[in-house]
């Protein structure tokens, strides 16, 4: 085993170099990527799977559609409230990643079983919304932290790919759920809904449990031995991939810059529309809504990885604006397709809506690091990510509007207005810390 040493680059960042993944965990670090990826794919059914299944669940169990949406809003609030505190506790060593994942596995499985078996909404609120939200937050926070720590040379791209699994891993379940809503459903079982969510619960328990058995965190500041950290810190390509902040901002300093409230506002607007689109397409009726939902979720996940690759060339700020513009275009085309009754237009509109509907999450996370530095990233990003709770409430409210007499078109136009506001806000983003004027 090589002797470990702490190396510092010209910006003052520390790197612990020497130990290889074989030395630390006796296996390649790719295990620390694919196991969290699989765990994230398995728990996505709780968000996007439930959203797509809302019409079928309401039809099968006699719930009002608006009431069936309410547990989803509570789940999003709980998941967002738990995910970032989990990261903070992991970084401080106050929580072990095995404990977090072992707790998240049964909670996630119990949530999906509740959706499969519960007939009363209070039980769904308790088992799915509350316990499931906590379990998903533990798994989400643990998996993203593990991937970021094991791939410090490209954390944004790797985490973006991992969180993408949260969306496209749900596509098969969502397709069956939307097909079920179009069928004649009798009795509390809801046709295929019960076995569908039971299988999802078993998969979640197995995938998250497997991650709990093998995933470990490297030591603080760990750096892969095959990459020279000082050369990496000076490399132009690396600087384009992972731009450095001007200085390390505390949470209070970040809040005073104006950039942090802007990022929060962007996430609220775009996050609300991302949730809304799944429910709206699942309840749109007409020709093949299952195809639109499946395409939306696959592109939602794939768009996250593609956006991070594009950001390495064009910059994160420009890529964020482009992603939000795509999402806005998708809403306008969806409204047009709804008004004209064109199934082809709805499918076409799903492409920009899907590509833009998830890519902003990893872009915003990487902008936090780029703007405010690595030292306080967890607490600052915690403020940003907590906005997902507000986004969930707004998204569910939009979905409820789409189910009223106002119809889907009005909701899509309102969603386009929200994203347009996010586009305008993204144009004002600047890396803080630079002088406002040049000295004379």
How would you write the pLDDT of the chain (440 residues) with one tens digit per residue?
Answer: 457 788 887 777 788 888 889 999 999 999 999 999 999 999 988 988 888 888 888 888 888 888 888 999 999 999 989 988 898 899 888 999 999 999 999 999 999 999 999 888 999 999 999 999 999 999 999 999 999 999 988 888 888 889 888 887 787 777 777 666 555 444 445 567 788 899 999 999 999 999 999 999 999 889 998 888 888 777 776 666 667 777 888 888 888 888 899 999 999 999 999 999 988 888 775 556 777 888 888 898 888 888 888 888 888 889 999 999 999 999 999 999 888 888 889 889 999 999 999 899 999 988 988 888 877 777 788 888 888 889 999 999 998 888 775 678 889 999 999 999 999 999 999 888 766 554 44
Sign of the torsion formed by the C-alpha atoms of 111, 60, 292 and 78: negative
Return the SS3 of 395: helix
**pTM confidence score:** 0.87
* Three-point CA angle 393, 394, 396, nearest 5°: 65
Q: Which pLDDT value is given to residue 142?
A: 95
Instruction: Quote the distance between the C-alpha of residue 99 and its chain's center.
Output: 22
| Rounded CA separation 146/143 (Å) | 5
pLDDT at position 186: 43
Q: What CA–CA distances, in Å, run from 84 to 112, 173, 257, 331? A: 22, 27, 22, 30
Q: Where are the alpha helices (DSSP H) in 258-376?
A: 259-282, 289-314, 316-340, 343-372
For residues 146 and 32, the answer to whether their CB atoms sit within 8 Å is: yes
Structure token pair of residue 115: 């959706």
Distance of CA 389 to the CA centre of its chain: 12
Location of structure tokens 């009798």 = 186
Reduce the DSSP state of residue 5 to 3 states and report it.
strand
> What tokens does 368 get?
């936090």
Q: Pick from 412, 409, 423, 70: which is nearest to 273 by CA?
A: 412
Helix (H, G, I), strand (E, B) or coil at 7: strand
pLDDT of residue 439: 46
């Amino acid at each position: 085993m090589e002797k470990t040493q702490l190396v510092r680059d010209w910006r003052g960042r520390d790197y612990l170099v020497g130990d290889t993944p074989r030395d630390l965990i006796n296996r390649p670090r790719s295990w620390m990527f694919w196991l969290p990826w699989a765990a994230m794919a398995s728990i996505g059914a709780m968000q996007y799977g439930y959203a797509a299944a809302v019409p079928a669940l309401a039809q099968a169990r006699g719930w009002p559609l608006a009431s069936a949406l309410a547990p989803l809003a509570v789940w999003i609030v709980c998941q967002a409230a738990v995910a970032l505190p989990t990261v903070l506790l992991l970084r401080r060593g106050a929580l072990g990643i095995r404990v977090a994942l072992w707790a998240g596995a049964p909670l996630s499985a119990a949530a999906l079983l509740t959706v499969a078996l519960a007939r009363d909404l209070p039980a769904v609120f308790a088992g799915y919304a509350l316990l499931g939200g906590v379990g998903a937050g533990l798994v989400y926070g643990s998996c993203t932290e593990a991937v970021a720590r094991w791939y410090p040379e490209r954390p944004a791209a790797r985490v973006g790919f991992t969180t993408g699994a949260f969306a496209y891993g749900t596509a098969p379940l969502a397709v069956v759920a939307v097909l079920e809503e179009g069928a004649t459903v009798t009795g509390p079982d809801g046709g295929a809904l019960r076995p569908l969510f039971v299988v999802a619960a078993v998969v979640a328990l197995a995938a998250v449990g497997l991650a709990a058995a093998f995933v470990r965190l490297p030591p603080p500041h760990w750096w892969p031995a095959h990459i020279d950290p000082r050369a990496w810190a000076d490399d132009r390509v690396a600087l384009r991939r992972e731009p450095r902040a001007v200085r390390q901002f505390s949470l209070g300093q970040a809040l005073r810059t104006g950039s942090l409230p802007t990022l929060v506002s962007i996430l609220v607007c775009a996050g609300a529309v991302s949730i809304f689109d799944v429910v709206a397409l699942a309840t749109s009726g007409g020709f093949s809504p299952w195809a639109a939902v499946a395409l939306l979720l696959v592109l939602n996940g794939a768009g996250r990885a593609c956006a991070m690759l594009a950001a390495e060339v064009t910059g994160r700020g420009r890529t964020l604006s482009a992603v939000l513009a795509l999402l806005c275009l998708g809403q306008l085309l969806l409204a047009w397709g709804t008004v004209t009754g064109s199934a082809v237009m709805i499918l076409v509109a799903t492409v920009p809506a899907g590509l833009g509907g998830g890519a902003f999450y990893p872009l915003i996370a990487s902008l936090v690091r780029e703007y405010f530095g690595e030292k306080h990233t967890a607490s600052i990003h915690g403020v940003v990510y907590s906005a997902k709770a507000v986004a969930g409430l707004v998204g569910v409210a939009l979905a409820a509007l789409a189910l009223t007499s106002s119809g889907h078109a009005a909701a899509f136009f309102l969603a386009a207005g929200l994203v347009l506001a996010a586009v305008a806000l993204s144009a004002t983003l600047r890396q803080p810390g630079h002088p406002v004027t040049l000295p004379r």
